[in-house]
Chain A
Amino acid sequence: GAGVSQSPRYKVAKRGQDVALRCDPISGHVSLFWYQQALGQGPEFLTYFQNEAQLDKSGLPSDRFFAERPEGSVSTLKIQRTQQEDSAVYLCASSLAGTGLNEQYFGPGTRLTVT
């Protein structure tokens, strides 16, 4: 594809609901990152995949957050039992190389609002 795409672009969830956020990285990109961006803040690292392997999940804030990339391309970030503090923009980024050191190409983000 032409760039990283994310869906949905906007999601409103009631507190306690589960949500699933999708990321389609650029075709052929080995690395995939998820970030959480709260209002007025920079992106905060959540997790990193190299192909289908989740090599770093140190940024996931709780065990309610789960990410997968089963075939090494599309990734899903799932948040269970959403809380108000989960309201944020969730960004996905991909990069060509299998390290975290190269340019990351960002998607438009999914804005999650938990009411």
Chain B
Amino acid sequence: AQSVSQHNHHVILSEAASLELGCNYSYGGTVNLFWYVQYPGQHLQLLLKYFSGDPLVKGIKGFEAEFIKSKFSFNLRKPSVQWSDTAEYFCAVNALTGGFKTIFGAGTRLFVKA
């Protein structure tokens, strides 16, 4: 069965620190990959997605993620976080042969200290 693993459940950073959130998935076939974010009091929303092509994808608010197929990873990065990046981040995977099911990781809560 497909699964998504997010390595850190809670991350605390100071403003201007660099961020990397790990995400690994278990599925050997072709996948579509997503990062969703939930800001306090708001709905889940898409941060970025990878379908094909350049494995380095850029999303909103300066976030980027790199798909490394050999490592089954899709880590999220941002060079310099801001207080407004405080949120919960979810990695998600859809396997092209897995029907319509999107599998989410357990999430990482990021707190950025001002």
Contacts and interface: CB of A to CB of B under 8 A. Distances in A.
B43 A103 contact: no
Given A101-B32, A103-B46, A45 B90 contact: no
A106 B45 contact: yes
A23 interface: no
Give the interface centre of A3, A4, A35, A45 by most chain B CB atoms within 10 Å.
Answer: A45
Contacts, number: 63
Interface residues on A, range: 20 to 34
B83 interface: no
B108 to A, nearest CB: 10
A55 B105 contact: no
Interface of A: 3-4, 31, 33, 35, 40-45, 48, 50, 55-56, 58-59, 91, 93, 99-101, 103-109
